[in-house]
Amino acid sequence: MTITHDAGTIGNDIETYIQVQTFLARQARLLDAADADGFAATFTTDGVLRHASRHDALQGRTAIAEATAATAGAHAEATHRHWFDQFVVEPGPTTETVLVSYYALTSLVDRNGTVRFLPSCLVEDELHRDEAGALLVAERLVTRDDLAPAAQQADSR
């Protein structure tokens, strides 16, 4: 099967699409389990995480793990579920690079069963394949919909 889009052909690589979805699902489960070190290990050693609610970029697994642990601690009273959908998977500038964008939503369920949602986000990833072909995040930009200017939201759709 060949997937085509405006920019050209991804190739006969439905496997890449499935690999991306599986990678992100496993990553979400690490977040849901508050496994900060496991989550950070899904980034390249010099990976960068930029989040719209922060005014800086986290670089490297240690910084990403520390920030992830702090966020999980702030919501420790609730069960987290990260929901990802509307994937756009495109080839990157090299054969080892995959560009991915998707929507993300986080639900928090407290002990009484009350559900609340954090603001929805647009996530843009640059994924790199390691020597074994496994995907790792080289760079991630998370833009919260409530913090994004309306013009930027319209452009990203």
CATH assignment of the domain containing 56: 3.10.450.50
Residue 48 has a pLDDT of 98
- Asked if residue 1 is part of any domain, the answer here is no
DSSP state of 132: T
Into how many domains does the chain fold? 1
Continuous segment of H or E residues that includes residue 65: helix 61-74
CA proximity to 57, closest of 147, 139, 145, 156? 139
Residue 65: how many other CB atoms lie within 10 Å: 19
| 19 phi and psi angles, rounded to 5 deg | -60, -40
Continuous segment of H or E residues that includes residue 155: helix 150-156
- Asked if residue 3 is part of any domain, the answer here is no
- Asked if residue 79 is part of any domain, the answer here is yes
Mean per-residue pLDDT pooled into runs of 10, the chain (157 residues)? 43 82 97 96 98 86 96 87 95 94 96 94 97 96 82 51
Residues of the domain holding 114 = 9-156
Question: The whole model's pTM is what?
Answer: 0.83
- Asked if residue 2 is part of any domain, the answer here is no
With beta carbons less than 8 A apart as the criterion, state whether 23 and 16 touch: no
- Cα distances (angstroms) measured from residue 19 to each of 25, 57, 98, 124: 10, 26, 11, 16
